[in-house]
């Protein structure tokens, strides 16, 4: 009888969250404004013949490398950051090796490390999700092969001082230090300058977040030339599609688009956090395009009522009572806060956390004026 590898048996299937069908999706840390108009124009200009050809990755790697400030030989473009993480797992993990993760964090590290046959060593974040530097260093053993560091971290938004990452890389020279900078553009702190200098440091980036190109699937893995050259041997040659490779130059050249979006997200994030705290919900300062918020005992009812109103937030059962909220436009967040205030009032007055009639959202039964005030642009 055909049997899958044993290490796959205790991994659960990953399904995209329910909220994907919601009108306002604030559960995936996507750019709710879309991609740059220059990217869209390039995509629309593509012809049938171009799409019939296999996509050469190298010109794209030159563009991405220049954007990231490293040489083309230091970079592999990947099918999203997920594939970059997978490449490192498959490249360095033998069955029985250890990887270190710092939960709560991005779920795919554990999935991909386990799929490669590794044991996952969890070193939990400290109070207020502070990165446990000393504990991570103490957890390093001769079996440690990868240490996953997310900077800033998803879902907490906490940033790690880059000097602490240097300390870890120096203390664990037989391990790959995978620094996931998926949210780099919102934070500005990077380990990219150590790529090639510290041979065991890899940096992962994505075009899914600040660039608004999650649907096009593009990530990048940067590392020392020696290691990247080894990983190229196992990377499928046509892993990145023609459409995104054609659009990449436009994406990195439209710096104003990214700068404007990052500025808006930062301002709206601060406003949202302040409003949430005024409602009595604790939040943690975030360096990403999202905020972790503790809704407390009524979390499930609030999530379901919001879902009924067409808004999805991400439940984070690994952070008790908490949800992760992607920061949308100011108008979108005003709408979410309006709904949250309504729900909060109902909970407080009627002790009815899941009312039969959800508060009027964009398509609820509010007056036309109220609807107009809370209309969500798709």
Residues 83, 206 contacting (CB under 8 angstroms): no
Stretch that binds ligand PLP, among 77-85, 274-282, 304-312, 348-356 (CB under 6 A): 77-85
Site mask, ligand PLP, residues 169-208, x = CB under 6 A? -----------x-x-----------------------x-x
- Phi, psi dihedral angles at 59 (to 5 degrees): -60, -35
One of 106, 129, 148, 257 touching ligand PLP (CB under 6 A): 106
Q: Does 272 bind ligand PLP (CB under 6 A)?
A: no
Q: Is 353 exposed, middle or buried (0-12, 13-18, 19+ CB in 10 A)?
A: middle
Residue nearest to ligand PLP (CB): 80
Q: Report which of 319, 312, 309 is spatially closest to residue 281, judged by C-alpha positions.
A: 319
One of 40, 214, 262, 354 touching ligand PLP (CB under 6 A): 214
Q: Is 71 exposed, middle or buried (0-12, 13-18, 19+ CB in 10 A)?
A: middle
Minimum CB distance to ligand PLP smaller for 22 or for 81: 81
One of 22, 64, 70, 81 touching ligand PLP (CB under 6 A): 81
Least distance CB 141 / ligand PLP (angstroms): 25
Minimum CB distance to ligand PLP smaller for 150 or for 272: 150
One of 27, 82, 185, 342 touching ligand PLP (CB under 6 A): 82
One of 31, 74, 150, 273 touching ligand PLP (CB under 6 A): 150
One of 19, 55, 60, 80 touching ligand PLP (CB under 6 A): 80
CA distances from 87 to 16, 285, 365 (A): 22, 32, 50
Q: Does 326 bind ligand PLP (CB under 6 A)?
A: no
Using DSSP bridges, classify how beta strands 24-26 and 311-316 pair: parallel, antiparallel or unpaired: parallel
Minimum CB distance to ligand PLP smaller for 143 or for 266: 266
Q: Does 219 bind ligand PLP (CB under 6 A)?
A: yes
* The pair of three-digit structure tokens given for residue 213, joined into one six-digit string: 């190109």
Q: How many CB atoms lie within 10 A of CB 181?
A: 23
Minimum CB distance to ligand PLP smaller for 157 or for 361: 157
Beta-bridge partner residues of 100: 121, 147
Least distance CB 154 / ligand PLP (angstroms): 4
- Phi, psi dihedral angles at 309 (to 5 degrees): -90, 5
Beta-bridge partner residues of 114: none
* The pair of three-digit structure tokens given for residue 5, joined into one six-digit string: 């590898």
Please give the distance of CA 110 from its chain centroid, rounded to a whole number. 15
DSSP letter string over 247-263?
HHHHHHH-HHHHHHHHH
* The pair of three-digit structure tokens given for residue 73, joined into one six-digit string: 């030989």
Least distance CB 178 / ligand PLP (angstroms): 10
Q: Does 154 bind ligand PLP (CB under 6 A)?
A: yes
Q: Does 29 bind ligand PLP (CB under 6 A)?
A: yes
Interaction site with ligand PLP (CB under 6 A): 29, 80-82, 106, 150, 154, 180, 182, 206, 208, 214, 219
């Amino acid at each position: 009888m055909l049997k899958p590898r044993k290490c796959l048996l205790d991994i659960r299937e990953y399904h995209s969250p329910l909220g994907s069908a919601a009108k306002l999706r604030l559960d995936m840390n996507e750019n709710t404004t879309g991609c740059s108009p220059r990217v869209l124009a390039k995509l629309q200009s593509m012809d049938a013949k171009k799409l019939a050809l296999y996509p050469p990755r190298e010109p794209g790697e030159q563009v991405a490398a220049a954007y990231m400030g490293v040489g083309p030989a230091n970079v592999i473009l990947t099918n999203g950051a997920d594939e970059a993480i997978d490449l490192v797992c498959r490249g360095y993990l033998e069955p029985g090796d250890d990887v270190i993760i710092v939960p709560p964090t991005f779920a795919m590290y554990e999935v991909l490390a386990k799929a490669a046959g590794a044991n996952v060593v969890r070193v939990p974040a400290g109070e207020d999700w502070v990165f446990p530097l000393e504990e991570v260093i103490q957890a390093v053993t001769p079996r440690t092969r990868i240490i996953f560091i997310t900077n800033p971290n998803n879902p907490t938004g906490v940033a790690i001082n880059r000097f602490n990452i240097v300390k870890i890389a120096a203390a664990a020279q037989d391990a790959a230090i995978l620094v996931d900078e998926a949210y780099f553009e919102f934070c500005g702190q990077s380990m990219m300058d150590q790529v090639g200098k510290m041979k065991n440091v890899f940096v992962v980036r994505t075009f899914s977040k600040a660039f608004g190109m999650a649907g096009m699937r593009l990530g990048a893995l940067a590392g020392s030339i020696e290691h990247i050259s080894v990983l190229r041997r196992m990377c499928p040659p046509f892993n990145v599609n023609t459409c995104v490779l054609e659009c990449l130059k436009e994406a990195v050249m439209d710096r104003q688009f990214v700068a404007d979006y990052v500025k808006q997200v930062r301002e709206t994030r601060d406003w949202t956090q302040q409003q949430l705290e005024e409602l009595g919900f604790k939040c943690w300062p975030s360096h990403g395009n999202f905020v972790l918020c503790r809704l407390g005992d009524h979390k499930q009812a609030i999530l379901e009522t919001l879902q009924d109103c067409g808004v999805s937030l991400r439940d984070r059962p690994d952070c008790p009572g908490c949800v992760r909220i992607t920061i949308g436009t100011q108008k979108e967040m005003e709408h979410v806060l309006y709904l949250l205030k309504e729900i909060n009032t109902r909970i407080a007055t009627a002790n009815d956390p899941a009312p039969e009639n959800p508060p009027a959202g964009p398509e609820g039964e509010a007056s036309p004026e109220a609807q107009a005030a809370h209309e969500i642009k798709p």
